[in-house]
Amino acid sequence: MLAVEVDAKGDLAEALGHPPVGFRPVVVQRNLSVIALHPEDSFQEYLAIFFKIPRFTRLTPLAGVFDFVATGVPGPRDMLMVGKIAHEERRRETDRRPVWDLIVVDATSSGEILPQLTAARSMRRLVRGGMLGSQLDFVDAMVTNHRKTALCITALAEEMPVAEALELHDEVVEHTEIGLGPCFLNRTLASVSSPRQRRLVELLADAAHAQAAAQVLGDGVEGLVAGVRLADALNRSGQPFARRLAARMSVPVVAVPLVAARPGLATTRAVAASMEGEG
């Protein structure tokens, strides 16, 4: 399996217990490799494969080409990212088996993902001839093949993230042929407002029971109650947005619990375990 980071910040490798990686896939766990994409590396590899041009330095005229491609018109820049992923998807072992069974991309933000995923089709409208045409067709076919590619939208139970997630969802459904996978509602807090939970909080908050409760819980009962009430308030404030997301999404919404640990392998495992539990 290959995990792909597109902004090359190193967070993805670190979340999998490994120092930041570069443009070559690095095995970080059993059956799991990570690669960090960068448009310049992608462009160099592209030129090497299709034009047999060796790696160039920043001083050569080709560096100017890179500057144009990577910071200029957005289509080529996005194509370099998606094109590299398509290239990895196409790679085969000597016995013709795919090199990767699954590629998971930690993609760009919801406001920028569609221009990236539709870059091939957008550029195809401009590029009628040239060898790029067939390459664009290949990338577009991969992105729009529902058996191969799914876009998983991730949101938080807050107003703006949910609004953006729904906007992206509607845009994908109405204006593209891209398939959607499950939506992830991240950093959810467990509800603490069942009748039994509420009754217990009321008992602990009741001054008449303070002395008895302190015999078992010590003198932190007041702080405990305040913390639980805050957790309840936070949970409640997110609920309308979580409900709105679930009601409007055409795909299942998977709640992923908030984990307090520092980012790293332990946190990743805790989140993964919660997803396994979701079935």
Partner 1 sequence: MSRPLAGPDTPGLAALVGGLEVVVCCGSGGVGKTTLSAALAAAIAATSDRRVMVLTIDPARRLATALGMSGIGADPVTVPAARLREAGLPLRGELVAAMLDQKSVWDRMVERHSPNRQVARRILNNRFYQGISDAFVGSHEYAAMEALYELHEESEYDCLVVDTPPSRSALDFLEAPERISDFVGARLLSWLARPSRLGFHAMNLAAAPLLHIADRLLGSELLGELGDFVADLQTLYGGVQQRARAVSRLLRSSRVGFVVVTTLEPAAFAEAEHFVAKLEELSMPLRAVVVNRVLPGFLTDEAAIRAAEVLADHRGAQALGRVLDVAVDPVAAASLGRSHRLLSELAQRDARQLTRLARFVDVPTIQVPLITAPVSDLEGLVRVAAAL
Q: Does 219 bind partner 1 (CB under 8 A)?
A: yes
Nearer to partner 1, 6 or 35 (CB): 6
Q: Does 152 bind partner 1 (CB under 8 A)?
A: no
Stretch 178-217: interaction string toward partner 1, x if CB under 8 A:
-----------xx-x-x-xx--xx-x-----x--xx-xxx
In Å, how far are 26, 27, 34, 94 from 30, measured between CA atoms?
Answer: 11, 7, 11, 21
The letter for the amino acid at 242 is: A
Considering only CA atoms, which of 178, 102, 103, 98 is closest in space to residue 143?
A: 178
Stretch 17-46: interaction string toward partner 1, x if CB under 8 A:
------------------------------
Give strand pairing partners of 106: 5
> Which of 40, 45, 106, 158 forms a contact with partner 1 (CB under 8 A)?
158
Block residue for tokens 């795909």:
251
CB of 269 to partner 1, least distance (A): 16
Q: Does 221 bind partner 1 (CB under 8 A)?
A: yes
Nearer to partner 1, 145 or 193 (CB): 193
Phi, psi of 236 (to 5 degrees): -65, -40
CB of 260 to partner 1, least distance (A): 4
Q: What angle do CA 103, 90, 142 make, to 5 degrees?
A: 70
Distance separating the N- and C-terminal Cα atoms of the chain = 20
Q: Does 134 bind partner 1 (CB under 8 A)?
A: no
- 174: DSSP letter: H
- 182: DSSP letter: -
User: What residues numbered 83-112 form the site for partner 1, per CB under 8 A?
Assistant: 108-109, 111-112
Nearer to partner 1, 74 or 181 (CB): 74
